[in-house]
Amino acid sequence: MNRNVINTNGHTIRNLRNQRGWTQRELASRAGYTERLIRKAEAGGVLGIQTAIDIAEALSQHHVKVSVDDFVLARDCLAATQCFLDAFASHGQGMVEYVKQELTHDFSLRIALFRGTSSLASSDWFGVSGLHFLLETIAVNFDLADGVVDASYTVGDGLVSVRYRQRFWIAGHALDPFWVNLHFRFQSHRIASIDVDYDTLAVSKFLFNMRSDESLKSSRRKCDSSACPYHPVSW
């Protein structure tokens, strides 16, 4: 997937232009492009990221800021989400190389633990290095089985939520399949954050106990306090 281009929602661009009382030629002049390119954008054509940014800046006014996210098709966010899950299912620990271009520079992932109890807590992981560190931790403690099963998606404004079934093997024993919920948030059409929660208390407890596992402690000791991508919370 080429993340240097986007599919535009031409209807939204046309509405923004009309709200300002501009012709296509006027918008083209303000953005620094040809009238032909504006017609292409309003027809839902593919634009380069920088071109889309320039059009958004031209449409911005003192009291109304327009961003690329305002006229990017939601299906692009969905495609990025599907790419992330496909990489996880196919490559597991090695998925980072396949998805790092989909992530913002300040990407974060939060795993909620103990869902549905009074002991709700979370762990945060930051950046590509944080994602890689988390996947290494999972690989040490789990064997993935069956990949991502029965995935269903809900698409909102800059948000995609996905629910799917997952099964893990722990020390040769299979956990019963459980539901995983992922909530992807986007900035400039890249994944800015993912919130993860589980429908199974047993899995949440196991993840919580992983935090005290000696191998994880050893890994954290190798991290410089200012550079370690894992930021533990207070329990």
What would the pLDDT profile of 150-203 be if each residue is shown by its tens digit? 889 998 878 999 998 887 776 667 777 788 899 999 887 789 999 998 766 655
Q: In this predicted model, what pLDDT tens digit does every residue of 102-141 receive, in sequence order?
A: 888 899 999 876 444 444 456 788 988 888 888 887 777 6
Predicted TM-score of the model (pTM)? 0.58
pLDDT-based confidence at residue 214 (cuts at 50, 70, 90): very low
Q: In this predicted model, what pLDDT tens digit does every residue of 69-103 receive, in sequence order?
A: 777 776 678 888 988 988 888 888 888 888 887 88
- Which of the pair, 67 or 204, is modelled with greater confidence? 67
Cα 68 from Cα 49, distance rounded (Å) = 8
Q: In this predicted model, what pLDDT tens digit does every residue of 6-50 receive, in sequence order?
A: 778 888 899 899 999 999 999 999 999 999 999 999 988 888 889
Tokens coding 123: 């762990």
What DSSP assignment string belongs to 52-79? HHHHHHHH--SS----GGGGB-HHHHHH
| Residue 3 DSSP code | T
CATH numbers and ranges of domains, the chain: 5-72 (1.10.260.40), 75-231 (3.10.450.50)
Tokens coding 5: 């281009």
Q: Residue 59's pLDDT is what?
A: 94
What DSSP assignment string belongs to 155-168? EETTEEEEEEEEEE
